A and B are shown apart, each in its own frame.
Chain A
């Protein structure tokens, strides 16, 4: 199956700083990627849809100026948490689908754990 990677796997940053998380599709091209956030012992909540070459689409309640998404190529989407605060501490997971497949399955990255101190 297709593989999606994320980097870094975990990061600790100080309050007020910005953090960039990368999501890469390793063996396929993805025009669309998705970003999810998972708080401890909770489910995954869709944050935004990342579209290659165009602006991201954010879910209701997600601040687009705080969570900057850039999908500059068909294999890379980045999520930048700007001016991070402790309440942004969470597990961030990306996913992408291989358009060459007919199953419309989403492949998930291993996640990035962000801790803001």
Chain B
């Protein structure tokens, strides 16, 4: 069965600092991978996705993630944090098959201080 593990339930950075949110997946074959952001009392917003094209994926709001098969990782990064980045971030995995559900990690809360 597929699963994702997000290391660190809470990450705190200063404004302007590098953001690194970790995600490792478990799958017998390389899956599709996603990062979502959720602001308080709101739904999910897709940041970026990996679907077997380029291993370095660029998303919205300056975020990017690199798929590393050898490390079974899909870490999310942003060179310079902004106050508005403070939110909950979820890594998710799905099978390479249409109509399959996403399996979510437990989430990482990102705090940004001035």
Contact = CB atoms under 8 A, between A and B. Distances in A.
B96 A104 contact: yes
Contacts of B105: 43
The 10 A-B residue pairs with the shortest CB-CB distance in the complex, in nearest-first order: A110-B43, A32-B99, A108-B44, A111-B43, A44-B104, A34-B101, A43-B106, A43-B104, A43-B107, A46-B101
B49 interface: yes
30 contacts: A31-B99, A34-B101, A34-B102, A43-B104, A43-B105, A43-B106, A43-B107, A44-B90, A44-B102, A95-B101, A97-B98, A97-B99, A99-B98, A103-B32, A103-B49, A103-B51, A104-B32, A104-B94, A104-B96, A104-B98, A104-B99, A104-B100, A105-B34, A105-B46, A105-B49, A106-B101, A108-B43, A108-B44, A109-B43, A111-B42
Contacts of A106: 94, 101-102
A49 B51 contact: no
Contacts of B71: none
Interface residue SS majority, chain A: strand
Interface string A91-108: 001010101000111101
Nearest to B102: A106
Contacts, number: 54
A44 B107 CA distance: 9
A49 B98 contact: no
A99 B97 CA distance: 11
Given A43-B104, A104-B96, A113-B41, 8 more contacts: A42-B107, A43-B105, A44-B90, A46-B103, A95-B101, A104-B99, A105-B34, A108-B36
